[in-house]
């Protein structure tokens, strides 16, 4: 198991029944059946994978893309038994491949500047805009820039905002390398955006390194859960 990798979620009997039923539905009904109540538990699988890969994306965007890929795969060419009849481990691995493909597709769409279906108050872009004093469009561009950084600084930043870096009464304890990572991330999020005015940059640069950076509880729970089994 590589660094930052968590044990995969199991494939429940409820998920197997839902997958079997979805395979017999028409395309529109199939998507609704797998998206509305998330019987395949794609949302927690996506949240884990985003955390593993240390990426900032909208969970709902990736979820929609993943459900669409599952629907297509259910009626596409088969390399063996139907997905619903395969072993638990095989189905979990199959879903992970589709989740990774969906993350890659959404990341590329972000980079191209395509609009997101998730621009609500609880979105990742809204949280980033509030925390860094950015406009929503600036926050989306900042997310795109962040996801193109090397994995190490991205992971340090995600751990910092998720509360997974040790702290005491004097503040968050960062190593020299971690401090450099945070500076690199902040330079990317703020310095690389021509739309961000000098006043915003100046205000953001006054933030102390040991000042707590805390995401809204809902965003932390949905996108980057602290307690993973």
164-188 pLDDT tens trace: 555 444 445 556 676 777 777 777 7
Query: Is residue 118 in some structural domain?
Result: no
pLDDT digits (tens, 9 = 90+) for 1-52: 344 556 667 889 999 999 999 988 988 899 999 999 999 999 999 999 998 9
The percentage of residues in the chain with a pLDDT greater than 70, rounded to a whole number, is 67
Same domain, 135 and 188: yes
Q: Are residues 138 and 105 in the same domain?
A: no
Q: How far is CA 70 from CA 95, 163, 224, in A?
A: 8, 33, 23
User: Does one domain contain both 97 and 169?
Assistant: no
Per-residue pLDDT band for 108 (boundaries 50, 70, 90) equals: very high
Any domain includes 228: no
What's residue 32's pLDDT? 94
Domain coverage including residue 17:
13-112
Using the predicted structure, report yes or no on whether residue 100 has a pLDDT greater than 90. yes
Q: Report if residue 117 sits inside a domain.
A: no
Do 149 and 218 fall within a single domain?
Answer: yes
Mean pLDDT of 65-92: 81
| Residue 172 backbone phi and psi in degrees, to 5 | -70, 135
Tally of CA atoms within 13 A in the half-sphere of 219 that contains its CB: 23
Does the residue 213 lie in any domain? Answer: yes
- Does residue 105 sit within a domain? yes
User: Is the pLDDT higher at 1 or at 69?
Assistant: 69
SS3 content of the chain, % helix, strand, coil (to 5): 60, 0, 40
Query: Which residue, 112, 139, 172, sits at the end of a domain?
Result: 112
Q: Is the pLDDT of residue 212 over 50?
A: no
Total number of domains in the chain: 2
Mean pLDDT estimate for the chain: 76
Q: Are residues 19 and 106 in the same domain?
A: yes
Instruction: Please check whether residues 104 and 180 belong to one and the same domain.
Output: no
pLDDT attached to residue 175: 64
User: What confidence tier does 191 reach under pLDDT thresholds 50, 70, 90?
Assistant: low
Q: Does 103 share its domain with 152?
A: no
Q: Are residues 36 and 106 in the same domain?
A: yes
Q: Are residues 128 and 207 in the same domain?
A: yes
């Amino acid at each position: 198991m590589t660094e930052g990798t968590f044990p995969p979620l199991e494939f429940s009997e409820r998920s197997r029944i839902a997958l079997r039923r979805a395979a017999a539905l028409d395309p529109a009904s199939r998507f609704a059946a797998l998206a509305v109540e998330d019987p395949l538990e794609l949302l927690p699988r996506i949240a884990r994978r985003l955390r593993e890969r240390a990426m900032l994306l909208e969970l709902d965007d990736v979820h929609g893309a993943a459900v669409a890929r599952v629907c297509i795969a259910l009626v596409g060419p088969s390399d063996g038994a139907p997905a619903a009849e395969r072993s638990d481990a095989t189905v979990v691995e199959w879903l992970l491949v589709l989740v990774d493909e969906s993350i890659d597709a959404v990341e590329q769409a972000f980079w191209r500047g395509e609009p997101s279906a998730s621009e609500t108050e609880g979105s990742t872009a809204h949280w980033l805009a509030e925390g860094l004093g950015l406009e929503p469009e600036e926050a989306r561009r900042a997310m795109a820039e962040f996801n193109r950084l090397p994995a190490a600084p991205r992971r340090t930043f995600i751990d910092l905002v998720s509360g997974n870096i040790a702290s005491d009464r004097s503040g968050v304890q960062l190593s020299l390398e971690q401090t450099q990572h945070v500076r690199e991330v902040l330079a990317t999020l703020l310095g690389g955006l021509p739309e961000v005015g000098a006043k915003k940059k100046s205000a953001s640069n006054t933030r102390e390194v040991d000042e707590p950076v805390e995401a809204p509880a809902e965003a932390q729970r949905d996108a980057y859960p602290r307690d993973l089994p």
